[in-house]
Amino acid sequence: MSDADDPSRAWLEARLSARPGAPPTADVTVGLDALELGDPPRDGLVHIPAGYRHDRPAPLLVMLHGATGNARHAVRSLLDEADERGFVLLAPDSRATTWDVIAGGYGPDIAFLDRALEKVFGMCAVDPQRIALAGISDGASYALSVGITNGDLFTHVIAWSPGFVAPRGQNGMPKVFISHGTQDPILPIDACSRRVAPGLHQAGYDVRYLEFDGGHTVPPEIAAESLRWFVENDDD
């Protein structure tokens, strides 16, 4: 195997190889199930929305938890939205307590995310024009970084209260949604989103940026707006 064919080198560069393929034929169970790719308790979850059909490719939202969190924390407020809006929801656990680049460099979490995406693409018919990478806090920073690096896969990136963006490169031009509380005590807005959002805009990205009066959280109305923007491909 040449260096170019070594997947570990791609993972160190935060590059994902999984892509949607031919529509699957095996039945899937609607609802929330374990991903069954990791070692407990660090695994992940996948939710198939009510009304999913193989002959109607669905949007896919990949949700990344915050530091010290897990997939169950990440999806609990999104399950009803997934069923109502008809998107498949994938939530992997980071291999350690937070995402690898924050702990020193890309690698283990990219490898696991690639496997998780490959599994979901094999289970579900996914619309390649509506694949979002979303996250909160540390997960938001990771979503921005990995989403920009893999903008040839992810069409949308949703970052709720991110701290930074650290891509390995720019591939494609995903649409970006960023929200941040003006009173955030964990990741202060002036040092974070008020720098990140203008920087991405200057780099040519289509950025929807919303500030709200609050702390390190995602108000329900902000979450609903970002999900509508993703699923409906809303440019307004």
Structural domain boundaries of the chain? 3-231
Query: What does the pLDDT read at residue 235?
Result: 64
Query: What does the pLDDT read at residue 234?
Result: 67
Judge residue 2's burial from the number of C-beta atoms within 10 Å of its C-beta, 0-12 exposed, 13-18 middle, 19 or more buried: exposed
Give pLDDT tens digits for 71-121: 999 999 999 999 999 999 999 999 999 999 998 899 999 999 999 999 999
Give pLDDT tens digits for 156-169: 999 999 999 999 99
CATH code given to domain 3-231: 3.40.50.1820
- The yes-or-no verdict on residue 8 having pLDDT over 90 is no
- Average pLDDT on 191-213 reads 98
Q: What is the dihedral of CA 47, 210, 109, 81, to 10 degrees?
A: 0
